[in-house]
Amino acid sequence: MKNLYALALCILAIYPAQSQSPDIPHLEKKDGHFALIVDGMPFLVLGGQINNSSAWPATLPGAWSAAEAMHANTVEAPVYWEQIEPAKGSFDFSNVDLLVTQARQHKLRLVLLWFGTWKNGQNHYVPEWIKSDTKTYPREENAYGKLLDVMSPNSPANLDADKSAFAALLRHVKSIDAAQHTVIMVQVENESGSVGSIRDFSPAAQKQFDAIVPAEFARAMHLPTGGTWAKTFGPDADESFAAYSTAHYIGEVAAAGKAEYPLPMYCNVWFAYPVHALENRDRPSAGQEYPSGGPQQANIPIWKAAAPAIDILAPDFYSDDFSLFRTIVATYSRADNPLFIPESQFGANFGRYFFYALGHGAIGFSPFGIDHEQTPEVPNPEGTIAAAPFRAVNPAENYALFNPPGSEIAQLNLDGKLLTAVEDKGAARQSIHFTDADAVASFGFPQPDGTYPPGTSTLQGRAVVAQLGPLEFLVSGFDVSVSFTLPAAVLQHTPNQQLEILRAEEGKYVDGVWQTTRILNGDQTDRGLNFRGGNPPLVRIHLHTLPLYDEALHRNLE
């Protein structure tokens, strides 16, 4: 009983939103898989982040139409501290009201981005009354005493000012949205950390650096207590101190907001990209190549220990390097951290990264800067739009496939039943393993009998396969043919069997109920399920097994 109580407390500490009200958007965890629950149903965030200065009345119309054009169900939009608190303690939430009202008119959900103390490792969104009073609201100083355009994370006055603004924001959101849940998550700060110095070297911060590491934090990190930062963290002391200070600050801001209205809260990450410039620079340097003290890869344990009110550390991804994307997905998918990609490029990689993240349990995905993008056709190397067999990638097609059925997809992910395959160089054929069948994804067309699939020129092939029941799957994708085989492990155990399609139904989910449009057969199934076009269907395929040989006949022949 005592253990059960301790377990319950532990779960509440990790996901405090769950305990507050069954209605409020919250995160749910089941057997190591996560979902964001909105209005009692799993919700897949098909997001689009608008540009930094677009959350204003003059620019919002373009944001909504861009989100609609890409079939998004959620818009990520900033809330500017300088705009909501133009004078200390005096708040103007008119822009927030506009965001919520217009999102509802466009049947979109919102993720609010709190541009508070930090925005891309700097302080550019703090109100003027803070910027101009560096005595009361101290800046971070570099090792030579230069005042930076970064607020000190070691200043109680800075923390109090941000906490009270953020709490006022959440109080207001609750007052206008507690019944409707248009706002489903909040990002606390934006790409926090410090650009320009590894940590704050101001005299006040130095005093904290020279002091003993807070015992509670040391214990949470399973480190010896009673040591200074230098003694406890050695060569990593400066950045660890910055990470603790930043995480603790933001954790307090989040907790103050949750005390008003406990929405799920996350921090987006400007992570440490590998340094390729010079061979001897084997390690990116904190405060130069990335903001020091933010929740970058190596700081995840510090952030988890120092900011328990933050539910998700969510990497922003800006690179064409697919293997780096896979590494980052693996790093931020943890038992204590749902995978959420709150920013990515909006180019040719959008579809493959989105599919890859989805197949690794992501609760959502969101390219950045949607309201400037024209959903361009991607030209081939000759500068013209590619003709068949290679299609140009249309970013909107990705979300169109899942909106609807976002809820069914999110539920399948929560149940651990959904997997994807994404084309890569030299991997135009891939197997997706389930216990009773393997789905084989072959990318690119045409696929003449007996030849290896050609792949696509832009590596845009992608497939999604979800298990609905024994030998029953939901399948779709782009530039891919999907067929099914019996897994080697199953055949080893029971060799005399083969797999056959019983029924392949093309259809859609309407209000959560599957509706068959037509039954596929012949050329539509004989060489796998083919998804060639830009608006692929969903196919529900039922397989069955039958003996490979008539055993009686076989025995007679022997």
Q: Which amino acid is at 33?
A: H
Nearer to ligand DGJ, 346 or 443 (CB): 346
Nearer to ligand DGJ, 209 or 365 (CB): 365
Shortest gap between Cβ of 319 and ligand DGJ (angstroms)?
Answer: 12
Shortest gap between Cβ of 238 and ligand DGJ (angstroms)?
Answer: 24
Q: Which residues of 59-90 are buried (b: 16+ CB within 10 A; e: fewer)?
A: ebeebbebbebbbbbbbbbbbbbbbbbeeeee
Q: Which of 162, 177, 239, 316 binds ligand DGJ (CB under 6 A)?
A: 316
Query: Which residues inside 135-174 make contact with ligand DGJ, applying CB under 6 A?
Result: none
Nearer to ligand DGJ, 52 or 375 (CB): 52
Q: Which of 80, 290, 355, 368 binds ligand DGJ (CB under 6 A)?
A: 368
Nearer to ligand DGJ, 272 or 463 (CB): 272
Query: Which residues inside 187-206 make contact with ligand DGJ, applying CB under 6 A?
Result: 190-191
SS (H, E, C) 77-124: EEEEHHHHCCECCECCCHHHHHHHHHHHHCCCEEEEEEEEEEECCECC
Residue with structure tokens 């169109």? 400
Query: Which residues inside 326-345 make contact with ligand DGJ, applying CB under 6 A?
Result: 343
Shortest gap between Cβ of 43 and ligand DGJ (angstroms)?
Answer: 23
Nearer to ligand DGJ, 290 or 484 (CB): 290
Contacts of the segment 153-156: beta carbons below 8 A, 24+ positions apart? 153/117, 153/194, 153/200, 153/242, 153/245, 153/246, 153/248, 153/249, 153/293, 154/200, 154/202, 154/204, 154/205, 154/208, 154/245, 155/204
| CB-based closest residue to ligand DGJ | 191
Shortest gap between Cβ of 523 and ligand DGJ (angstroms)?
Answer: 45
Rounded Cα distance, 339 and 45, in Å = 11
Residue 176: count other Cβ atoms within 10 Å of its Cβ: 15
Shortest gap between Cβ of 49 and ligand DGJ (angstroms)?
Answer: 7
160, 244, 309, 363, 528 from 252: Cα distances, Å: 9, 12, 8, 25, 54
Rounded Cα distance, 181 and 69, in Å = 23
Query: Which residues inside 472-531 make contact with ligand DGJ, applying CB under 6 A?
Result: none
Binding mask 261-280 vs ligand DGJ (x if CB under 6 A, - otherwise)? Answer: -------x------------
Grouping H, G, I as helix, E, B as strand and the rest as coil, residue 464 is: strand
Tokens of 365: 């995905």
Q: Which of 52, 380, 524, 545 binds ligand DGJ (CB under 6 A)?
A: 52
Shortest gap between Cβ of 294 and ligand DGJ (angstroms)?
Answer: 11
Nearer to ligand DGJ, 262 or 294 (CB): 294
Shortest gap between Cβ of 196 and ligand DGJ (angstroms)?
Answer: 17
Q: In this structure, what DSSP letter does residue 465 have?
A: E
**Residues in a beta bridge with 183:** 110
- Regarding 120 and contact with ligand DGJ (CB under 6 A), the answer is yes
φ, ψ of residue 10 to 5 degrees: the values are -65, -45
**C-alpha closest to that of 475 among 406, 531, 433:** 531
Instruction: Give the helix/strand (H/E) hosting 230.
Output: helix 229-233
Residue with structure tokens 């797999």? 499
Q: Calculate the CA dihedral of residues 336, 340, 343, 346 and round it to 10 degrees.
A: 150
Nearer to ligand DGJ, 18 or 190 (CB): 190
Query: Which residues inside 56-85 make contact with ligand DGJ, applying CB under 6 A?
Result: none
How many residues would you count in the chain? 558
Query: Which residues inside 409-448 make contact with ligand DGJ, applying CB under 6 A?
Result: none
**Binding-residue total with ligand DGJ (CB under 6 A):** 8
Rounded Cα distance, 152 and 542, in Å = 60
Nearer to ligand DGJ, 328 or 401 (CB): 328
Shortest gap between Cβ of 190 and ligand DGJ (angstroms)?
Answer: 5
Nearer to ligand DGJ, 84 or 480 (CB): 84
Shortest gap between Cβ of 255 and ligand DGJ (angstroms)?
Answer: 23
Nearer to ligand DGJ, 369 or 487 (CB): 369
Shortest gap between Cβ of 41 and ligand DGJ (angstroms)?
Answer: 29
Rounded Cα distance, 482 and 464, in Å = 9
Shortest gap between Cβ of 458 and ligand DGJ (angstroms)?
Answer: 22
Nearer to ligand DGJ, 368 or 478 (CB): 368
* Residues within the interface to ligand DGJ (CB under 6 A): 52, 120, 190-191, 268, 316, 343, 368
